[in-house]
Amino acid sequence: MGNPNVGKSVVFSRLTGANVIASNYPGTTVDFSKGKMRLDGEHVEIIDAPGTYSLEPTNKAEEVALEMLKEADVVINVVNATNLERNLYSTLELLERDIPVVIALNIWDETQHLGIHIDKKELEKILGVPVVPTVALTGEGIKELVSQIKNAKTNDKIKSTSEEGRWVEIGSIIKKVEQLEHRHHSIKDIISDLTIKPITGLPIAVGIVFFAFWLVRLIGENLIAYVFDPIFYNLYLPLIENLSEWIGGPGLVHTLLIGEYGKEIVFEESLGMLTTGLYVPIAMVMPYIMAFYFMLSILEDTGYMPRLATLVDNIFHKLGMHGHGIVPVFLGLGCNVPGALSTRTLETRKQRFISATLLAIAVPCMAQTAMVFGILGPYGMYYIGLVFLTLAILYIIMGLILNRVVKGESPEIFLEIPPYRRPSFKTILKKTWMRVRWFLKEAIPFLFLGVVAINLLYYVGFLGWLGDVLSPVMYGLFGLPGDASIAMVVGFLRKDLAVGMLIPLGMSPLQLVVAATMLTVYFPCVATFVVLLRELGIKDMIKSVAIMVSTAAVVGFILRIILLGW
């Protein structure tokens, strides 16, 4: 247990290795990680509880952390040594309870750089429990931490008191154990100052975000061109062609497995389970997912994300949230499901509703982004830019409107800014792999389900009928062919697959811009819908869906007039 941004998850990673399970806490959408460790010859379970500043919970994550504490045998309390005063509050709350505690005094190396001297032995004496200095990123102190777990203690001398009483006690402790000395600013200090002050931090933030996504695109495109496409088209395609010959003719089996019989097998368009069903998630989407989560892990582990949240705090307050609202946006750009889950860290119903609704409306997941690049990339970055510029403007406008319309409070942000750290390449790769593995586990079943459903609906003629029925509406209001309505229906199952279905319709680049934008706005995919339903509740979800659908219609109509004419 520990405050957010203290290296708690890195300590957990050091203790548990690679065999980690991430899941939701029963009855909630709050996720946590658990793993196994050998301790004195026995296998024990280690749980990484959600970060909490206090045992008096202010959000769902802190409520879950408190529930987990009731079941714990021993608590490893991870404390940021560079901000001891702030971190000791939750430590004292833990010691007031009858549970053995051992303290990991993490980021110990940084105290030397900052001129902070902590008397570890005196702190151990005052708190009455083992205190172990650690540097989780490099593994320093982890072995001693493990050896001290069996010496974890309770402290009967620390009694339950008020919030004021704890701060008085903390002040007394800090005077006895901590000394500060003057030191000159290092290059890292200068960088830290430049990236947190608005006048310099905001332009730097824009540059970092653009560079990150440029790198994601570069890595993703090269993985597709030089790794995945050669595997699918040079090695896998002959196997599929042989299977097509073995099946021997048209029919439901061939349509479901490979696609329509007699047509050239094109992985992006065939819509078979073994063609499009595998190619889209693995060869078109996963390369961008891998690149995105790799970059996100770097931004998290260097300590930049809390700075970004602080920088955009004023902007997000105008949208009905605070700076932490940037987190669902960033996570949603990878996959909307973890983005939706992260809205729980916002304190009030108003903040969570606005964040979730804006996420569903204007934040395309990396899978959908990959498809947008795929269908518009051949026409140039201008058309791709139109889609994302429209979504960015829409996010701001809808946020301003919802802030005025939705009742409730939007409190201030209270976020600890950790020092910049050199990230561990091994930890970054592990976090990236865990997230990619989660994506494959969640995405492929839904994509297979979507491909099967689409093929069956095509086979029985329903989608063709639907296209004919909706054709006047699609063309009259949005300037799109009637078959584009089929993609809109499919978008409920998988947005990326729906975007890919626009390719065979022979639309102009500007029509593709209108269709791709509407697909992002009108409804989340079914996986995100289920999470948002659990997160918001039925009543708020109905309101959110009404906002999405009406916004999509208005945006599609406006884009039609601006881009296509009347």
Q: What is the mean pLDDT of residues 298-302?
A: 86
| pLDDT of residue 26 exceeding 60 | no
Confidence of residue 451 (pLDDT cuts 50, 70, 90): low
pLDDT value at position 550? Answer: 92
Give me the domains of the chain, ranges plus CATH numbers.
Answer: 8-183 (3.40.50.300), 198-408+427-564 (no CATH)
pTM of the model: 0.64
Ranges 57-71, 108-122, 434-448: which has the least confidence: 434-448
Bigger pLDDT: 531 or 373? 373
Model confidence over 101-126: pLDDT tens digits?
Answer: 999 999 888 887 788 899 999 999 99
Instruction: Please name every residue paired with 475 in a beta bridge, in sequence order, or none if there are none.
Output: none
Exposure string (b/e) for 312-328, b if CB count within 10 Å is 16 or more? bbebbbebbbbbbbbbb
Estimate to the nearest angstrom the gap between the alpha carbon of 535 and the chain centroid. Answer: 15
| pLDDT of residue 230 exceeding 80 | yes
- Bridge-based pairing of strands 31-39 and 20-24 is antiparallel
Q: Which residues contact 284 (CB under 8 A, 6 or more apart)?
A: 224, 228, 268, 370, 371, 374, 496, 500
Instruction: Please name every residue paired with 41 in a beta bridge, in sequence order, or none if there are none.
Output: none
Q: What is the mean pLDDT of residues 154-175?
A: 90
Report yes or no: 4 and 80 within 8 Å, Cβ to Cβ: no
| pLDDT of residue 166 exceeding 70 | yes
CA distance 85 to 87: 6
CA distance 47 to 65: 10
C-alpha distances in angstroms, 14 versus 135, 400, 550? 11, 43, 48
CA distance 29 to 340: 9
CA distance 279 to 283: 5
Confidence of residue 189 (pLDDT cuts 50, 70, 90): confident
pLDDT value at position 19? Answer: 57
CA distance 376 to 513: 8
Both tokens assigned to 161:
């008191």
| Best CA proximity match to 91, nearest among 108, 99, 79, 81 | 79
Range with top average pLDDT, 24-33, 96-105, 482-491: 96-105
Estimate to the nearest angstrom the gap between the alpha carbon of 502 and the chain centroid. Answer: 27
